[in-house]
Structure 1
Amino acid sequence: MQQIAGADRVSKRQKGRSRILLATGLWLSFAAAATAADEPKTFRDWMAGCDNIKTCTAISLPPEATETITYLRLERPAGPEGTARLLLRLRGEWKKPPSALQLKLDGAAFPSGSKPLSVTADGDVVTLTFSAEDTAALIDAARKATKLTVTAPGLTGSISLAGSVAAMLWIDEQQGRLATTTALVRKGANTTVPPAPALPVVAATPVPPMLDMKAAKHQAERLRAALKKRSPDSCEDGAADGDSAWSLGDKRTLVALACSRGAYNLSSSFFIMPENDPAKAAPLRFADGDGDGSNDLTNASFDPRTGHLAFFAKGRGIGDCGVTGGYAWDGKSFVRTELAMMGECRGIAPEDWITLYRSAAK
């Protein structure tokens, strides 16, 4: 599989990821510590990150060239009651997905003497959910074991454990669990664990019915023409068929001008414009979107029924790396609601990417 990073395991990986993310406009902006989305950390063959309420995730990175994508995903909420949840995922092309998997740790059966473990299948993704006992056993074994092998009739997968302990130790540190009874790795006698931060609540506001196609096209055409006079190179004319517009009520219009089209990414610039008055259009500012507080989003979609604006900036065509997130219209501005990132193109599905920001809808 293609890797966003370079060949060297640490320094070139970080530099390579930065080059690609910058080249596609997917870098993260950093805000105050309480709300900032911090980029995931790489620990050899694992990656880990935490969101704004200190729920942390660690993912094993599959090999770059393999027919069956196999990886572990561990997620743990913060706070004294936060319990680790460990999943094993397989993605592949099969006529009939496997119904059970056999696991081995460095050649020895895991769990010890166990029969094949039952799994669930959803399309091309097979999931094994570990029990609490097996999760604890695998975490403990990772201190010495180097590889988890997964087999089923007709397939074999391999998961490197190199870096897994360092990733879990980092998670313990972020959640204030070091030397506590609930630590994943470095346990101690202390029973005090910091509570999880409060989950932000966002009140999304639905907007009036969508403009008909003719009205939406007219609003976008007027804004595009006005911008072209002021800044001729700000938007590609060839992408104009991707322009959109929606009514926000109170004689305001949300306009998305498609400004750059690639093989699998369409970048749009967003403005709030008084109806039929492009001279007074104001560019939006998106925190942790495609750039440093810019008004650009990639592969964006707006749902007027919920007031939710989503984006999915792909690192490559199959969509197994990049940045995804969303914002909610609260009647005055667009407020960030979610953000997730995967900086390595290794076949990991977007639903398993590392969450960096989350909220609750009011």
Structure 2
Amino acid sequence: MKLNALSRGVPLSAVVLAALAIAGCGDKDAAETPAAPKAASTAAPAVAAPVLQIRPETKTFRDWRATCGNDGTCWAFGFAPEFAAGWVRIALAPGPDAQPQILFGYWPDGDAKGANPLGLTIDGRAYPAALSEASNADAPIGEIRTGVRGALDALAQGKVMTIRGASTQEVSLHGAAAALLWIDEKQGRLDTPTALIRRGSRPAALVPVAPPLPTVTPAPAVDQSGFGDQNQRVPAALRARTEVGNCLKASAMPAVSDMVMSARLDARTELWGVPCGAGAYNVTHNWYLTGPGGRDPRPAILAGTEGPGSDPVMPDNATVNGAYDPKTRTLSAFAKGRGIGDCGAAQTWAWTGQGFTLTQESVMGECAGVPSDLWPVAWRTR
């Protein structure tokens, strides 16, 4: 997968719709025989909370990028200019009770002396931060824990924002307000007290709650004797396919050609991963489903909102840095935009007995030092 394909945003391939059900109730007609009058009820009729209707989407607003996932959680990211390592992330779950979170990170200058207090400065005003649990020794991550709403207001209206710690790093504010407004609209928060930017007097109870997640049930585990990622040879029927032969020729180096992977999925189905080229930090595999002994091979279908199934250059059965875990019956991939793995796409599919179903997908199109576990999650399932 090429990074420039990621930077165009996430294509839309999955739509999650949840119906709003409002139940009304009333007494049946009274019997015709006289009865004592009843006191009028003052209780309001029960109304079900509205359910968010949302689809995974990513949009770019000048120097900011915002993503909303199929579970209704949204993220807005601002980045340091020209691929410098610095970023600010605003995350907000769906629902009227959700509270925004502000995280930021950078790589300190190696020549910086001492460790200054971690924080953000917006138009000259300081917003102190605590060290987040997501930090590591080389790349501290700060979290604004007090005055979050005030920091959001300043960020949306500000001109200059700087990450401060052992060294400093500017992060552009161009597009920040538009990204936050888009999230308010996607989550149904506009003109309510819960909005990130456009707050108003509409009741918070009108903010929709999270939609139900799709449920995916992996197939039962099966014995893997004779299968795995060591000392595997491509079966003859699979090797006879023209594209498989071309892949093996393209992966002629022993370090790559020996990366054949296999697994037993059930009594009638095997999975084979054929190496098909490699770079400095990425190895591509094409995956096939076969009968016992590799007979009757056919490409596996790995649909996603980014990467396999969405890029016309890559076949639907290709992964980058892919691997199958028979314990969880999941196939995973992590296409790195660069060697440190701070940008790219990470995906997981579960084998259900009928095929592979996407269970999680995270995409980061900007190489700015964001750890992969803090990327926005465009798709997830139960």
TM-score normalized by the length of structure 1: 0.81
**Distance change in 2, residues 1:308/1:349 (3 Å):** same
Question: Residue 38 of structure 1: CA displacement?
Answer: 4.3
3-state SS of 1:344 partner:
coil
**Distance change in 2, residues 1:65/1:259 (3 Å):** closer
The residue that corresponds to 2:371 in the other structure is 349
Question: Residue 53 of structure 1: CA displacement?
Answer: 1.5
| Structure 2 contact 361–379 (Cα < 8 Å) conserved | yes
| Structure 1 contact 87–128 (Cα < 8 Å) conserved | yes
The reply on whether 1:313 has 2:326 as its aligned counterpart is: no
Question: Residue 290 of structure 1: CA displacement?
Answer: 2.6
Pick the structure with more strand per residue. Answer: 1
**Distance change in 2, residues 1:37/1:258 (3 Å):** farther
The reply on whether 1:178 has 2:190 as its aligned counterpart is: yes
Unaligned runs of 5+ in 2: 18-53, 311-315
Name which of 95, 98, 101 aligns with 1:82. 98
Q: Matches of 1:100 and 1:268 in 2, distance apart?
A: 45
Residues 26-45 of structure 1: pairs in structure 2 closer than 5 A: 30-34=12-16, 38-45=56-63
Q: Matches of 2:376 and 2:114 in 1, distance apart?
A: 26
Pick the structure with more helix per residue. Answer: 1
Count of aligned residue pairs for this structure pair? 331
Name which of 160, 166, 180 aligns with 1:168. 180
The residue that corresponds to 1:7 in the other structure is none
The residue that corresponds to 1:202 in the other structure is 216
Name which of 123, 127, 142 aligns with 1:128. 142
Unaligned runs of 5+ in 1: 1-16
The residue that corresponds to 2:67 in the other structure is 49
The residue that corresponds to 2:159 in the other structure is 146
Amino acid at match of 1:354: P
Q: Matches of 2:345 and 2:224 in 1, distance apart?
A: 27
Q: Matches of 1:275 and 1:321 in 2, distance apart?
A: 38
Deviations 1:166-206 (A, max 9, x none): 10000011111112221111112212112211122322345
| Structure 1 contact 299–312 (Cα < 8 Å) conserved | yes
Q: Matches of 2:279 and 2:168 in 1, distance apart?
A: 36
Question: Residue 150 of structure 1: CA displacement?
Answer: 2.9
The reply on whether 1:233 has 2:233 as its aligned counterpart is: no
State the structure with more CA Rg: 2
Q: Matches of 1:277 and 1:18 in 2, distance apart?
A: 31
**Distance change in 2, residues 1:101/1:59 (3 Å):** same
Amino acid at match of 1:142: L
Q: Matches of 1:212 and 1:51 in 2, distance apart?
A: 39
Name which of 323, 334, 352 aligns with 1:330. 352
Q: Matches of 1:167 and 1:196 in 2, distance apart?
A: 20
Question: Residue 19 of structure 1: CA displacement?
Answer: 8.1
The reply on whether 1:248 has 2:265 as its aligned counterpart is: yes
Q: Matches of 2:224 and 2:192 in 1, distance apart?
A: 54
Question: Residue 317 of structure 1: CA displacement?
Answer: 2.5
Question: Residue 231 of structure 1: CA displacement?
Answer: 6.7
| Structure 1 contact 254–271 (Cα < 8 Å) conserved | yes
Amino acid at match of 2:4: I
Deviations 1:56-113 (A, max 9, x none): 00111122254xx3321111111222221111223347699847324422123x24xx
Amino acid at match of 1:47: R
3-state SS of 2:348 partner:
strand
Q: Matches of 1:220 and 1:357 in 2, distance apart?
A: 33
| Structure 2 contact 228–263 (Cα < 8 Å) conserved | no
**Distance change in 2, residues 1:242/1:218 (3 Å):** closer
Question: Residue 264 of structure 1: CA displacement?
Answer: 2.1
3-state SS of 1:149 partner:
strand
Name which of 258, 274, 290 aligns with 2:275. 258
**Distance change in 2, residues 1:223/1:321 (3 Å):** farther
**Distance change in 2, residues 1:97/1:123 (3 Å):** farther
Structure 1 residues 94-103 or 53-62, which shifts more?
Answer: 94-103
**Distance change in 2, residues 1:248/1:318 (3 Å):** same
